[in-house]
Structure formats: structure tokens, C-alpha cells
A and B are shown apart, each in its own frame.
Chain A
Amino acid sequence: MNAQPSTAPDLAPPYVRLQAVSKKFGEFLAVDAVSLEIRRGEIFCLLGGSGSGKTTLLRMLAGFETPSAGRIYIDGEDMSSVPPYERPVNMMFQSYALFPHMTVEKNVAFGLEQEGLARSEIARRVAQILEIVQMSPFAGRRPHQLSGGQRQRVALARALVKRPKLLLLDEPLAALDRKLRERTQFELLNIQERLGVTFIVVTHDQQEAMTLATRMGVMDRGRIVQVGTPAEIYESPVNRFVADFIGSVNLFEGRVTAVGAQDLTLYCEACGCTVRAQHRVACSAGDTVWAAVRPEKIALATDAAPGEPLEHNRIRGKVREVAYMGDVSICLVEIESGKTVRVTLPNRSGLAAQRDLRHACVTLSWDAASPVILTG
């Protein structure tokens, strides 16, 4: 279940707007002129590796860092130099940062106390949010008496009880084991839908991003490389970095031989194959481009007659390795030039069929709709 973008998103003004935001630490440029627009009610994921600047960007949204350049607008107001305790923004920390000397109840109430609400009102809202995150029976416990998943829910409750305009989540699922992670992903989506809060999630885990995000932004070395829905980013990456960063991809480097009205042909010298793609990019004959083909889009057929010349979008090779993953098998096929092509096959027929593939001579093929042509 993926999150769906909210209806009529393009008509609403951006809820969060970053305008050429940069951050320098001494000589080091952590965030480089990032401009971004995030709509109300969406779940926006910032995806990137270590040092990509995503955490710094998040901290600037929270108010813990001031931008060296640029402006940050939240719901129309310039928040660039507003301290964190005056922003309508709340954060769920990666380590949860629950106050160890307070009970769950007191932890959650803390933010409301700072607003100066009446005791009865505070108690009511705390009880309400604990109900939503299913932590009501643990209200009197201390953080060290809770498990990791329970602590996370308390951290979430603590941030959400203040009904912030924006909730920032720093690697929310990183500390959880796999089963818990899946459950929590869906719970997060449920809560977000129920409360309608705008989420901005920072993560290095693509799977997390793909599941949670209505839209995502891929970051590399301080810059946003591509923004789009998970599908857009996966199916139409804008350059090799993004293609390689999300999922796995096979890249064929080649020279453009023909540019047609509907398609594009290139010749990959290293692999000795011609790629014809229905994907149109601005380029001319003779340019060097890359054809990106996802492993699951490649079909594999055991060869009957080797030596026949091949048409476009086909290569011959020999299976080097088969990794059985349970639901799929990953085949590493070595083609003549020595390059390895990665193919993902669904295990319809089970392990035995995969065993036969080892060391088999095969022909790989894909149809023209599959490759994405990348110029960078």
C-alpha cells in the first residue's frame, strides 16, 4: 500500500517552501542552494546517503540550524531565523530523545505544558493521542521500561499532540527490526491520513521512502537531484546517480545511432548490442548516453542456438551466479565483454528450476518500453 498524493495538489499554494537554501559549516558546504516546495498534507521523503545533506536540511526546517543563505517559508511565514521553540514544527528524533526522568504521560504532556494550556485540557489531549498510538496502558512507565517500538510511538505521540503544521521525522524506522519496520510503516501512514499532518521524512533507506512517500526528493552532496513520486523516480530517473541509488539497475553505455520520432537507438560497443528505446531524450546522433534497464524488466531464455546474430534489445551471456531470495532469484549473467548484467526472476517454479540455470547459456531480452535513456 503506497501513499497516494492528495487530490488537487497543484492548486494549493506550497505549504513549505525552501528558497535557495544553503548551509556552510566552515568551509564545508553541507546544503547547496536547495529549492523545494512541499504541499499540505503530503508525506515528503528526503532520500540520500551519508553526507548528502538531508539531515542538515531537516535541522534547518526544525530550527536547530540557521541557513547560511536562502529562506524557509512555512505556511507563508518566513521562518528562517525563528528559534525551534517558536516554530509550529515538531520533530521526531532518530534516537527518540524521550526524557528519561519523566513518565510516558509527562513526556507527551511536556509540549502542551509549554503552551500554557489548562491541566484538564492537557490531560484530555494526552489521553487522546496515547489512544491513537496505542500506548494508553503504558502511560505511567518510564522510557527505559519500554521497548524500541514502544518508545517510538511515544516519541510520535509527543510530537503530534501539539498538532504541529509540520512533522519532521529523522530516520524513523532505522532502529527497528524488519518485521516491526513494516508494521510501523503502515501505522505511520494510517496516523498521517487520520490526522492530516504534513510529514517530512529523512531516510537513507529507499524501501522506507518508497513505501511512505507521496513524493520524494533524492539528495546527493547537498543538492536535490530529483523530485517526484516514488514511481516517477523509479521508472524515470533523471540521471545515473538516481537510477543507481534507487533499486538496482543495469547501465549500458553507448553511442546514439539513430533518433526517431518515437524512439531512439544506440549501440553499446562494450556489450556488442543495440538498444532501441521508446524513451525520448534531447540528444543527437553520435552522443554518448546510457540506457538504464531494471533487472525485473529483463527476460531470460535458455539458448537453443548460440551464434545467431541478434536483433536490438537482446544479449547473449552465461549465468555466473544465481542467488535464491525466496520470492525472487537474482541472476548475474556475464556477457561477452565481461560485464555482468543483473536479472531478477520471480520464483514461479521454485528452487529446482533456478538450479538448472547455473552456467547455462542464455539470451537476455527486454522490450523497447523498458530502457530509460540517461544523458548524465
Chain B
Amino acid sequence: MRKRGLFSRTALVLGLVFLYVPILSMIVYSFNNSRLVTVWDAAHSPTLKWYGVLFSDGEVLDAAWLSLRVAVCAATASTILGTLAGTALARFGAFRGRSLLVGMTTAPIVMPEVISGLSLLLLFVALEQAIGWPQGMGALTITLAHVSFCMAYVTVVIQSRLAGFDESLEEAAQDLGARPAKVFWRITLPLILPAVMAGWLLAFTLSWDDLVISQFVAGPGSSTLPMVIFSKVRLGVSPDVNALATLMVSVVASGVVVATVWMRHRQKRRERDAQLAAAANL
């Protein structure tokens, strides 16, 4: 038993190293004065030079702002749609068109992005021809495109959360006189709120990071942050991109750490309360 444990644990450690070395290398080299990855310019490093370059690059800042707006809108719309779809799939049993809905909400997750992007662009072009809207590609088409694939992820998260949800709570609410809509608003939604928020964050990240679909549906005037980064890195290593990477990783890491710590704290408090109740007994 121990030997088996050792093998898998070694694999785990090596795997984690594998996962983190690239990220750490970017962070380290973002402070390197030299452009070259090979040379650690000890004389002038660590430096915030590249951060300065990053923040003065208008193209990058504009793109970041666009990405942010798109991501917030897309995440919010996806969360609403995904929650509706997830609820329908988890609670409505069999209904006409259910398998179609299931297919449409799971396929976008695995669909290669080039296909999704292509199909959406063709849709927008056809719409423009037919009814004159949308007029040209831009933030709107990017947002619409993102919603369509993000909501699939949110649906899975919500559906999975509801599947493991204690239905007797909803039944009890109905038994006490609440109609189904009321039950959802006052009982179900408050209790699945963490999952809804996780879904929002997931959709936000997916939209913020998306490259391929954006490339298809963005117009000549709009570039999202990933698009700008991509054009930069096709030419090779670019230190200001390292700086950007470091910033993003820090934001995400601190967010995750904060969330984890807060959840552990709540968990501990619950356990303590339960223990006190049991001890007091009756």
C-alpha cells in the first residue's frame, strides 16, 4: 500500500511542478531588466520597467477595457441563461425537447473553438444581410458570441449543484403553501448562490481569456486583450506580456486564496455551532 501511495504522490508533486514552473518563470522574468530570457541582468534587476511599458501601452489598455466590459456583460447574461437552463434540466423531468436542450448545453463545452467562432461569424453576417442587424462586428457581437458558449458551462455548474440539492427543502416549502416560483426565489436560489457566483466567475474567466472566437467575431476596430497579446507573442517572447501575466496571476491567486480562506472559516464556524448544539442537547 505504501509503495502505491509513494508513486502517486511523486506523480502529484512532479505534476504540480510541471504546472507551476511556466507560471513562475514568467513572473520571475517580468522583473528582469533584460529582454532576453537567457540573461538575468543582475545589475539592473529586479525592475518594474516592463510594468511601466505595459501601462503606457494604449493598445493594451484599450483592449483590456474592452475585454472587461465584454466579460462582465457576457458573464451576467450567461449566468442568468445558464441558471434557467440548469434549473429546467435538473427539475423539470422529461419534457418535449429536453434532449435537444441537453445537447445544446453540453456541446459548446467541447466544441472546438474554431468551429464555434466560424459559425457565429457566419450567423452575424447572414443576420446583417437579412435584417440589417448587427451592423458590423464589435463589442456586441463579441459579447453575444461569448454568452453562447459560457452559458453551457454555467448550466453544467448549476445543474450539478441542483442534482445534489436536498429536494425535500423545496417540497417542504411547497407543502407550506409557496408556489414553485416562490420556492425558487426564497429557498433554492439563496442556497445555490455560491454555485451561481462560481458560475459567474467561470463565465467571466472564459470570456476574458477567449481568443479564437473573439478573433472571428471581432471587427477591425475592436481587439480584445487576448487578441493583442496573441499578436505580440506570435513574434516571440515579449517582457511586457510577462508583466501582464504576473498581474493576472496575482489577481487570480489572491482571489482564490481569499475565497478559500473565507470558506474554511465559515466551515469551521458551522462545525463549532453544530458541536455546541449537540453538547447542549435537547
Contact = CB atoms under 8 A, between A and B. Distances in A.
Interface of A: 62-64, 83-86, 89-91, 93-95, 97, 99-101, 110-111, 114-115, 142, 144-147, 149-150, 158-159, 162, 180
Given A95-B168, A101-B191, A180-B282, A145 B273 contact: yes
26 contacts: A62-B175, A63-B174, A64-B171, A85-B174, A90-B176, A91-B171, A93-B172, A99-B169, A99-B172, A99-B187, A100-B169, A100-B191, A110-B176, A110-B178, A110-B186, A114-B176, A114-B177, A145-B273, A145-B276, A145-B277, A149-B281, A149-B282, A150-B282, A158-B176, A159-B175, A162-B177
Contact of A114 (B168, B182, B273): B182
B16 interface: no
Which of A62, A84, A90, A180 has the largest count of B CB atoms less than 10 A from its CB? A84
Contacts of A93: 168, 171-172
Given A146-B277, A147-B278, A149-B282, A91 B172 contact: yes
Given A84-B175, A94-B168, 9 more contacts: A64-B174, A91-B175, A97-B166, A97-B169, A100-B191, A101-B191, A111-B177, A145-B276, A150-B277
A110 B179 CA distance: 12
Contacts of B173: 99, 110
Contacts of A86: 177
Given A110-B176, A111-B176, A97 B168 contact: yes
Contacts of A64: 171, 174
Interface in B82-99: none
Contact of A144 (B179, B273, B280): B273
Which of B173, B176, B182 has the largest count of A CB atoms less than 10 A from its CB? B176
Contact of A147 (B169, B171, B178, B282): B282
Contacts of A150: 277, 282
A101 B168 CA distance: 15
Contacts of B168: 93-95, 97
A276 to B, nearest CB: 52
B270 interface: yes
Contact of B177 (A62, A85, A100, A101): A85
B282 A144 contact: no
Contacts of A91: 171-172, 175
B220 interface: no
Given A97-B171, A101-B191, A180-B282, A144 B177 contact: no
Contacts of A62: 171, 175
B11 interface: no
Interface in B155-199: 166, 168-169, 171-179, 182, 186-187, 190-191
A114 B169 contact: no
B273 A95 contact: no
Contacts of A146: 277
A63 B169 CA distance: 15
Contacts of B274: 144-145
A178 B91 CA distance: 37
A84 B169 contact: no
Contacts of B186: 110
Contacts of B281: 147, 149
A144 B270 contact: yes
Given A144-B273, A144-B277, A145-B277, A90 B282 contact: no
Which of A63, A90, A100, A114 has the largest count of B CB atoms less than 10 A from its CB? A114
B166 A95 contact: yes
Interface string B257-282: 00000000000001001101110111
B277 A84 contact: no
Contacts of B176: 85, 90, 110-111, 114, 158-159, 162
Nearest to B193: A101
A146 B168 CA distance: 19
Contacts of A99: 169, 172-173, 187
Nearest to B171: A64
A85 B178 contact: yes
B271 to A, nearest CB: 9
Contact of A85 (B179, B191, B280): B179
